[in-house]
Structure formats: C-alpha cells, structure tokens
Amino acid sequence: MTSFVVNGKAVQTDADPATPLLWVLRESMGLTGTKYGCGMAQCGACTVHLDGQAIRSCVAPLSRAEGKHVTTIEGLSPDLSHPLQRAWIEIDVPQCGYCQSGQIMSAAILLKENPKPTDNDIDEAMSGNICRCGTYPRIRRAIHRAVEMAAQGRTK
Amino acid sequence: MTATGLDRREFLRASAAVGGGLLISLYVPELDLARAQSPPGAAGKVFAPNAFVRIGTDDIVTVISNHSEMGQGVYTSLPMLLNEELEADWSKVRVEPAPVDAVYNHTVFGAQMTGGSTTTTSEWERYRKMGAAARVMLVQAAAQQWNVPADSCHVEKGVVIHAASGKKASYGSLADAAAAIPVPSNVPLKDPKNFITIGKKVRRLDTPSKTNGTAQFGLDVTLSGMLTALVARAPVFGGKVVSFDASESLKVPGVRTVKQVPSGVAVIASAFWPAKLGRERLKINWDDGANAEISSTKMLADFSSQSASPGLVAKKAGDPVGALAGAAKKITAEYDVPYLAHAMMEPLNCVVDLRADSCEIWTGTQFQTGDRANAAKVAGLAPEKVQIHTTLLGGGFGRRANPASDFVMEAVNVAKAAKAPVKVMWTREDDIRGGWYRPMWHDRFAAGLDANGEPIAWTHTIVGQSIMEGTPFEAFGIQNGIDSASVEGAADLLYGIPNLQVDLHSPKIGVPVQWWRSVGHSHTGFSVEAFFDEVAHAGGKDPYQLRRKLLAKQPRMLGVLDLVAQKAGWGKPMPAGRGRGIATHFSFDSYVAQVIEASVEKDGTVHVHRVVCAVDCGRVINPDTVTAQMEGGIIFALTAALKTEITLENGRVQQRNFHDYPMLRMFEAPAVEVFIVPSEEKPTGVGEPSVPPVAPALTNAIFAATGKRVRRLPIRSSDLAAGAEVKS
C-alpha cells in the first residue's frame, strides 16, 4: 500500500509500487489532465510536482511518492486563477492543448524558483517539454506575462 | 469523390430541442429516406442527428462542429461564423462535436472529414446560413408575441429588442416559440462590411479547458468495465504472425487475455502498465513477408537513378528539352527528403464498446465517414449502427485521417476479441514505428538560363510513392497515373518560365504512406524554392528580385513577397556570420512568403535567429488563429528541416522515440513574426501553408551565410562543419 497526498487530499493505493506514477494518477485516480507522451522522460507531457519539484511522472515509480505531496494540473488552482493559467488564456497559448498541462507545471516551478526569469532561464527550464504544435513563442510570452500578472496581484 | 454536399436538395429545418429550446438542422430528403430505412443505432442516443445549432431556454447556444478540433482553432472559428449572423451573447456560446451523419459532410469532399486546410472554405457559408435562419425565427417569435412587425425589431447580444416599445426578450425565452416558426428560406447574409466579429481577434473557446486539465482527448476516455490493450505489430510492414507464446504475458498481474488480431497480437489488461509489461513478455514468431529487404539507403540511390529518365508528364509548356539544349547556361541539382512520422503529442488511441447490435467509438479522428464505414465492416453491422464520438485531437497533422482507418479498425478487432469495452493505446514507439509516413521523395531539376542570367527552361522529375493509390480518394486524386499530391507545388509553378516540364515516377514500396501537414508541398516547397535560389545565384541575380520579376503576373504572391522582404529588411546589414534566405509557396489556395535569418557554427550547428512570414489567405475569420497557425507550422517545419527522418534497414524502422526522432525544443525556437495581408477574397487554407517555405528559406539562408548548398533534409551539421563537403 502506497500512501501520499494528491492535490491536498490523502490517498492510498495498492497498485504495484513499480508502476509509473503517471498511470496511477490517470487510471486509478481519474486525474487525466496529466498526459502520456513518450514514457521515457523525453517530452514532459507528464510533468507533475512532487514535494515542490517538477518530475516526469512517466518514469517515476509510484513508490517515489510514498509520504509525499503530489500536485497535478488539476490542483494548480481551483478556478484558473494561477497567473500562468490567466496568462495562457490571455495569450491563447494552446493549440491542440495536449502538452499544455506539462508545460504549465514546468513553468510553475520555474516561477516559484525564479519569479522573474530571463529568456535564457525560460529556455533552460522549458526545453524538457515538447510542443508539436509549435506554441513555444507563445509559451515564452505567457511566462513573461504571468510574471507581470503575479506582480500586479501582489501590489493589489 | 463528388461534391454531393453542394448539389443535392437541402433545407434548413427547425425543431424543438429535448428539454426545450430551438434546433436548427440541415434537412436532406434523400438522407431522411435512408435514415428511415435504417434507423440510428446505439439505442437512439444520436441526439438531433443533423443539428448545427441548439438554442436552449437557458440562453446557452451550442454550435455543433462537423470538423474536428486538432489545434487549428475550428472550435472557435465555426461558432464565430454562425454567431456572426445569429448575434447571440458570445459568452453563452458553446461548441460540441457532431455525430457522424451525411448532413455533416464536407461541402467539397463529400465526406465528414477534417483536412486539406479546408474547414473555413467548406463552412464559410453554411454556418452563417444556419445562424441567419435562427436569428430570423427568434425575431419572428418575438414579433408575434408583441404583435409588432418583425422588421421593427432588431437583435443585440442574444436579445430581441423592439425599440419603439422598449420590449426585450432573450433568445432563450423565445427559443420554444421560435421552434414552431416556419424556417425562412434564403435569408440574405450580411454584407461583409457589417461584420461584427469576423476579422477580429476572438479568444479561443477551448483554451480554459486546456489549461486546467479538463479538456478531454481520446486517451482520457474511460468507460465502466473498460479494459486497456496494446497490440504487438509486425516489425516489418505487412508481416504476419506465424505463432505466439503468451504464457509469460499471462503471468503479469492484470493481464486478462492475449489474442491474435489481424494487425498482430493484442495484450488485453486491466490498465496500461500491465498491458505494456505483458506485451514485453510476448514471444511472437513473425513471417516478415515481402518487405524485409527495404532499405532507405538503397532507396536513396534507386530514386536518384530512376529520376535520370523522365516519368509520366504532369505538366508541359513550351519546348523544355530544346530550350535547355540551347541555353547559355545550364544547371542541375538533386534534392532528397526522408520519410517522416507525424508524431502527434497524443499517440493514437481508440475506445470501442461493441455490442451485439451496436458499436460506439470514442476517438480523435479526422475522418468520421471513413472510420465509421470501416468499423462497421469489422463489426459486421450497418454503418448506422456505429456511432463515433469525436474527442479533441492531441494533434492530427493528417495521421488521424487514415483512409484505411488503421487505428479504428484495429480497435474494433480488439474489442471483438476482448468481449468488453476496450481502449487500444499506442505507445510512442508504436507511433514512430507505425508507418503511414510522409513519403520519401527525390526531386531532380535542370534549368536553362539565357544570356541575361534568367531562367528560360525548367525540368523537374519527381520520384516518390503515391499517397492516394488504393484509397477511396484515388478516383478523385489520380488522373492519368499522376497522383496530384505528388506533384502539387511543382506542376502548378507560379513562376513565369516559358519552357517547363514536371514529370513523375511513383514506385511501389511496402511502406504505408499518408498525408502529413502540407502533403506534397512538403517536398516541392523545399526543392523548388531551394533550386530557384540556385538558379538566381547561377544567373547572378538577387533571389528576391528574380522572384519579383518572374511573379509579375501573380499579384497576390507578389504582395506577400514584397511584404516579407520589407518587414525582414531584405538587403539590409546583419550581424556578422548571418545569412538571409527567402522563399515563397502557394498551397491550399493561400500565398506565403518567408525570410529566415540563420548562422552556422564551426561545428556545423545551425542557429535559426528569426523567421518573418507574410500570408495572404483571403478573408480572415480570426486573425490570432491565422498567426498561431503560421507560428506553429513554421516550428513544425523547422523540426523537419533540422531534425527528423525515418529510415529503414532490413525492412525495420530505425527510430523509436523522441531521443532518436527529436522535436525542436524551446531553446531552439526562433522569434517568429507574422504579417497578414488584408483581403476580401474568399477564405483559403491556414493550417498547412506556412510549412512548405520554411526548409528552403532556411537552406537558402545557410547558403548565404556559408556558401554551402543543402540539398538533403534533414540538414546535417556534419555536412556544414568547417572543411566538410556537402553531400547531396
């Protein structure tokens, strides 16, 4: 039995502890916002937060989550209020949208660790996430925009 | 295919919606007859099978989209078209996918499908007509209630207003009454100068759901009691199972059963992970069949030798042979592009619930009509008994418009074997190795220049597999042995060159091929525009100026060419080491020109610094969508130019995942600037036309920076490293 916290809620599962966390989240817990793209930590579509770090859940065994906090896209904000979500909507970043959960979860850790990233910082933090539709220019703009939105939010 | 959508009798029809409200549907007497003979299956779950818009008593307006949303923005642009005439409150507008029904057929292709960058072209009038009819009926309903003439009322944001009396009524409050009003015929559409939303930036309706994890793709569909299956497919295309041993697979907890299906062996399990582990433990003895010798290295040489003699003539003007012989200067070159996988971020998947007399399918498809017919064959049911729920597509790029319905038919076969609802998933490896690639193509050119250095003769021999041969599109797309998709962008060359020949060899090779974003233009855009650059340099001409001169009779192409040159600062100084390349291409009835700035490091690493793009796609519905499609197509095409190829040896695909089939990443993505030419011409394609000019603009820029001519994609840094000779 593996016990951990997902989006603030304590959960237990008897799934095989070697199963990648991605499949437990998607198939056992119905958190399908986290996507499968490659199964070998190449594309970032499965990015979630484990105790505040971005991880690729397609290669992280369930056992790694034992006793820890997992945040998925569904837990980022209850109401699309996270500055990244607001910026993504304002700039209309997504096209097909399939990779965007992973993009946003990677960007969220970037902003947590570096509230005002440069373009180079964005390159470093976001190059593990592939977007086949080619939304990179908008992702970059939206991250900068989210910084502004977060700043405005703080001064209010 | 015939344009059945345009010439049969069609009427709009109104009816009361279940639970109240107004539905506007397309009524086709012939189809209604067919339906009466074989009523819809799946326990009558087809709700309003021919509706295009539903107006609820709660004021919610639901637009039913007959085209699939794969990122190109049709779930916003189709509602925009309808609502331009309906004038409902945009914040109350929703969209949902259409079921499969002939009323939803593409108005040109005659089948329900999304492709060829044609959604707007197909629906430009139809969706506005639906909206206009609904508006007139809502106004009529209000006028009757108020006992005033209809023409004394007007509408604003979902409210009918009688200004003289100050009476107002929302669409929702009128919807039930409107359903009883006779449907007007031939309501005039707005003069474009009165458009309220068309042409203005509108935020996509699907963005919020794509930022909080609620957007539902095929892979996210879950049914009660559903099993999950992976299929072990032949390592060589066309290979067959001789025998298999599933004993180790069946020991994996969660694996329920292992069954042979026509495409291989299906491991059917409680979830993905046991299915994957079970498949890894399968032992299969394959008969490789006829394709075990296929080698793309050998094909490269074969294609080149084949191109030395002309093929079937697709286009001939003047006397190309004579003009070449008499030219003051002659140049030749050969170009190559590889097989390419679509590599949508969402790998293929399909959920099937097969019952004795019905079959329900959930999948992200671009080709509902074909998939339903093919699924029905496998299920042994009439097509009307098969229902397809089109989910969002996590990318399509053509792969999900498979004429053979490969991923749908296979899933129905697995469902038959599973005897339970089943989700068939493809891993990334399955996707990369699964075939249905953009064909490998070879292009051989010769050009003759006159004494002034201008081209007077141009010959182009193309070698590559036919995409349409053997598909339902053959009658439509192949004339006199020439697949139009193989020669598009070459046979319709816009340049004014008096002596021209384009011919084609279509070798038969056992690698399944398919349309891939921009289809044939993905090779002709590259080869034609790169060779044109060679012609310009051979004649001592500026590549921009020579294009201008030879496009003198093509005002719209000239328009984008001049715009891009001006915005890019053609001819102006750049940082040391950079080169600038220019290219144009006409595809999907749209005109695109691009300028790329690039540099090459000593080790051959290519840096793309800036891409400037001008497009003329006729009247624009949502300009931000056009910009997004240009940006996305450019990045997609840069991946093809710089990174990817599918190769085969001993019939086996050599790539398997993103480590050896790599995509462009954030740190490599250049700044992209997009400029749209204002136009009142009819709307044309947007999803694909930005792809073809990218590779030639880039290789032309590399030539400008280094003097090295790249004639084979993907661009290899080893060819561009200091001291290296470019192989072609």
Would you place residue B1 in the very low, low, confident or very high pLDDT band (cuts 50, 70, 90)? very low
List of residues 6+ apart from B710 with CB closer than 8 A: B530, B699, B702, B703, B719, B720, B726
Q: Are residues B368 and B506 in the same domain?
A: no
Shortest CB distance from A97 goes to which of B215, B427, B631? B215
Taking residues B35-50, report their average pLDDT. Answer: 37
- Computed over every residue of chain B, the mean pLDDT equals 94
Residue B673: pLDDT band by 50, 70, 90 thresholds? very high
Number of domain units in chain B: 3
Any A CB within 8 A of B212 CB: yes
Residue B274, number of CB atoms within 10 A of its CB: 23
Within a domain: B352: no
Number of residues in chain B: 728
The mean pLDDT value of chain A amounts to 97
How many A×B Cβ pairs under 8 Å? 181
Residue listed under structure tokens 């053997």: B470
Residue B430 lies in a domain: no
Does residue B353 sit within a domain? no
For A129, nearest residue in chain B (alpha carbons): B665
Q: What is the mean pLDDT of residues B694-701?
A: 98
pLDDT range class, residue B12, cuts 50, 70, 90: confident
Q: What CA–CA distances, in Å, run from A73 to A103, A142, B90, B433?
A: 10, 17, 27, 30
Tell me, yes or no, whether B566 lies in a domain. yes
Same domain, B543 and B469: yes
Stretch A46-60: mean pLDDT: 98
Give me the pLDDT at residue B725, please: 64
Interval B32-38 mean pLDDT: 43
Residue of chain A nearest B430, judged by CA positions: A38
Q: Do B310 and B419 sit in the same domain of this protein?
A: no
Give domain status of residue B652, yes or no.
yes
Question: For residue B35, what pLDDT is reported?
Answer: 43
The pLDDT, as a whole number, for residue B43 is 29
Mean pLDDT of B75-100: 97
B563 and B624, same domain (yes or no): yes
- For B560-574, write each residue's pLDDT tens digit: 999 999 999 999 999
DSSP single-letter state for residue B198: T
What is the phi/psi pair of residue B701, to 5°? -70, -40
B194 shares a domain with B330: no
Nearest residue in B to A84, CA atom: B211
- Which residues on neighbouring strands pair with residue B612, listed in sequence order? B595, B673
| B387 and B282 assigned to the same domain | yes
Global ipTM: 0.98
Any idea what the CATH number is for the domain that residue B553 is in?
3.30.365.10
Interchain contact B226–A (C-beta under 8 A): no
Contacts A91 to B, Cβ<8 Å: none
Most B-contacting residue of A47, A76, A132 (CB-CB within 10 A), to test interface: A132
B505 shares its domain with B621: yes
Residues B173 and B250 placed together within one structural domain of the fold: no
CATH number of A2-75: 3.10.20.30
Rounded Cα distance between B428 and B422, Å, is 19
**B623–A contact, CB cutoff 8 A:** no
Which residues constitute the domain of residue B114? 4-204
The 3-state DSSP class for residue B625 equals helix
Question: For residue B34, is pLDDT > 80?
Answer: no
Residue A147's pLDDT band (cuts 50, 70, 90): very high
Contacts with A60 from chain B: Cβ below 8 Å: none
Distance, CA of B434 to CA of B489 (rounded, Å): 28
Q: Specify the CATH class of A83-155 in words.
A: mainly alpha
Chain B 395-424, CB below 8 Å of chain A: which residues? 395-397
Residue B350 lies in a domain: no
Chain segment A83-133, per-residue pLDDT in tens? 999 999 999 999 999 999 999 999 999 999 999 999 999 999 999 999 999
Residue ending a domain, choose from B151, B169, B204? B204
Q: Looking at residues B316-342, what average pLDDT do you find?
A: 98
pLDDT > 90? residue B706 = yes
Residue B726 has pLDDT above 70, yes or no: no
The string of pLDDT tens digits covering residues B346-362 is: 999 999 999 999 999 99
pLDDT-above-70 percentage for chain B? 94
**Predicted confidence band at B688 (pLDDT cuts at 50, 70, 90)?**
very high
Who among A88, A95, A137 is closest to B211 (CB)? A88
Cβ-defined contact of B347 to A37 (cutoff 8 Å): yes
Q: Across residues B269-298, what is the average pLDDT? A: 98
What are the pLDDT digits (tens) for A3-49? 999 999 999 999 999 999 999 999 999 999 999 999 999 999 999 99
In terms of CA atoms, which chain B residue is nearest residue A77?
B212
Among residues B204, B235, B267, which one ends one of the domains? B204
Please report the residues numbered 110 through 149 in chain B whose beta carbons come closer than 8 angstroms to any beta carbon of chain A: none
Same domain, B130 and B276: no
Q: Does residue B48 form part of some domain? A: yes
Cα–Cα distance, B506 to B504 (Å, whole number):
6
Q: Are B277 and B303 within one domain? A: no
Residues B94 and B43 in one domain: yes
Supply the CATH number for residue B269's domain.
3.90.1170.50
pLDDT by residue (tens digit) across B431-444? 999 999 999 999 99
pLDDT band at B39 (very low <50, low <70, confident <90, very high): very low
Amino acid at B467: I
Side chain identity at residue B403, one-letter code:
P
pTM, whole model, 2 decimals? 0.95
Indicate the pLDDT class of residue B390, thresholds 50, 70 and 90: very high
Window 520-559 of B, Cβ < 8 Å to A: none
User: What would the pLDDT profile of B583-634 be if each residue is shown by its tens digit?
Assistant: 999 999 999 999 999 999 999 999 999 999 999 999 999 999 999 999 999 9
The reply to whether B471 and B579 lie within a common domain is yes
Nearest C-alpha in B relative to A36? B346
Map out the domains of chain A as residue ranges: 2-75, 83-155
Tell me: the pLDDT tens digits for B634-652? 999 999 999 999 999 999 9
Domain A2-75 and domain A83-155, same fold? Reply is: no
Predicted pLDDT of residue A154: 74
Task: Tell me which residue in A85, A98, A139 faces B212 most closely, judged by beta carbons.
Answer: A85
Average pLDDT for residues B577-586, to the nearest whole number?
98
Task: Give A95→chain B minimum CA distance, Å.
Answer: 4
